[in-house]
Amino acid sequence: MTGSLAPIRINGAGPTGSLLAIGLANFGYSVHLFDPLTADQICSRSRAYALTHSSRRLLTRLGFWNELVPFLSPFKTLRLEDRGINRSVNFTELDLHSSNQSTQSVGWILDHRSLMKLLMSRLEISPHIKLHLGETTHQPSKSLDSFGLVIAADGPRSPTRSQFGFPWWSHTYTQGCLTAKVRFCDLNSEYAFECFRPEGPLAILPLGNSDFQVVWSAPLHRCRQLAGLGTSAFLDQLSTILPQGLEPDALLDSPAAFPLEISFAPKLNRKNVVLVGESGHRCHPVGGQGLNLCWRDVDTLLQLMTSASCVRRGLKTVPGVYSRRRYFDLLTVGLATDLLVRLFSNRQSALLFVRRFGLFMLKHSPLFRRVSLQAMSDGPSTLLQSLPE
């Protein structure tokens, strides 16, 4: 059906670019996938992702979900704590939208290596994908005219975005982020934690058994200092900020510290070039929205490029429609995560009242919990439309 369309070039073979390439290839598009890193380098990154129900739906449609199930760590309870006012609330499977309750999980944690190993195996066997790994993504502009679309999925420092002069707005937080994999003593693997603290949020995400991914936000200089500590000193520091009853037992990898920012490209398309994933936006990691937001980009683009109107009229209308459809989700999530960080890092009395009222409503109103969890799980735009059963 799409055989007459020009080939697609995707710059960036991380989780977003690779998943998009496979999705397009499944519908018969010819895809050229470029990345300056080799397959081994792409797969070797030590990190984990929080997957929500919007990502589950996309992975199911693309035929990946069942293959990923053995590598997923589901959690049935998300515990939200505000350390500043000593209040907490639990989100459980009962708070899910009816279309998500059959999964009996609020969300899932997936290791990067397991995900990329599966994606790479699909990329390598697809007859419609030509891999250019270990090759530069930069090409003379004239050589890109032979592609129907050039899709930039090459990350927050996107060379493609810079090459084509896309406007880019960015604000760097004073907070940084430290990630580490930690083994805990006798901790229920069906729990995930999001703790709001004056110096920044702390997320503890299950990886299976007693292993957890720790995402620790704090002033950047402190994150870097913590990353340089020895194992015993690091675990001692971690133990001082953990929720009550949690005790770290072992450090499983080397902690990594990096700066945080909120970024946005005011326009996601220019001629036949489209920004997807973190090449077009980036938000604070609070709430684990990052990869899910990127994959909703993928979902939107796949829907547009496999629609009957696209086949009939060609790809020329896709970039503009894609940009318009993504604005609401990107702006809403970006502003919401920024507001959460500012609200829960502030000690002003008026804001403390707002926090107490918000936590009270979440704890005592099932409807408020359900609406909040749906916005986090499926995207804010789904509050205005029906979800598939």
* Domain-located, residue 288: yes
Statement: residue 352 has pLDDT above 70: yes
Give the count of domains, the chain: 1
* Domain-located, residue 69: no
Q: What is the mean pLDDT of residues 200-204?
A: 93
> What confidence score (pLDDT) does residue 95 get?
95
* Domain-located, residue 276: yes
Of the candidate ranges 39-48, 99-108, 143-152, 241-250, the one whose mean pLDDT is the lowest = 143-152
Evaluate whether 145 touches 116 at the Cβ level (below 8 Å): no
> What confidence score (pLDDT) does residue 389 get?
58
pLDDT tier, 296 (very low <50, low <70, confident <90, very high otherwise): very high
Statement: residue 386 has pLDDT above 90: no
Q: What share of residues in the chain are helix, strand, coil (percent, to 5)?
A: 45, 25, 30
pLDDT tier, 139 (very low <50, low <70, confident <90, very high otherwise): low
For 252, the token pair is 């499983």
> What confidence score (pLDDT) does residue 124 get?
96
Percentage of the chain exceeding pLDDT 70? 95
Boundaries of domain holding 308: 8-46+112-169+262-380
> What confidence score (pLDDT) does residue 378 get?
93
Instruction: State the greatest distance between any 2 C-alpha atoms of the chain, in Å, as a whole number.
Output: 63
pLDDT tier, 310 (very low <50, low <70, confident <90, very high otherwise): confident
* Domain-located, residue 135: yes
pLDDT tier, 331 (very low <50, low <70, confident <90, very high otherwise): very high
- Phi, psi (deg, nearest 5) at residue 76: -95, -15
Question: By C-alpha distance, which of 221, 246, 218, 223 is closest to 234?
Answer: 223
| CATH code (residue 126) | 3.50.50.60
* Domain-located, residue 128: yes
- Chain segment 155-167, per-residue pLDDT in tens: 999 999 999 999 9
The residue written with tokens 């760097």 in the block is 172
Evaluate whether 274 touches 152 at the Cβ level (below 8 Å): yes
* Domain-located, residue 94: no
Statement: residue 350 has pLDDT above 90: no
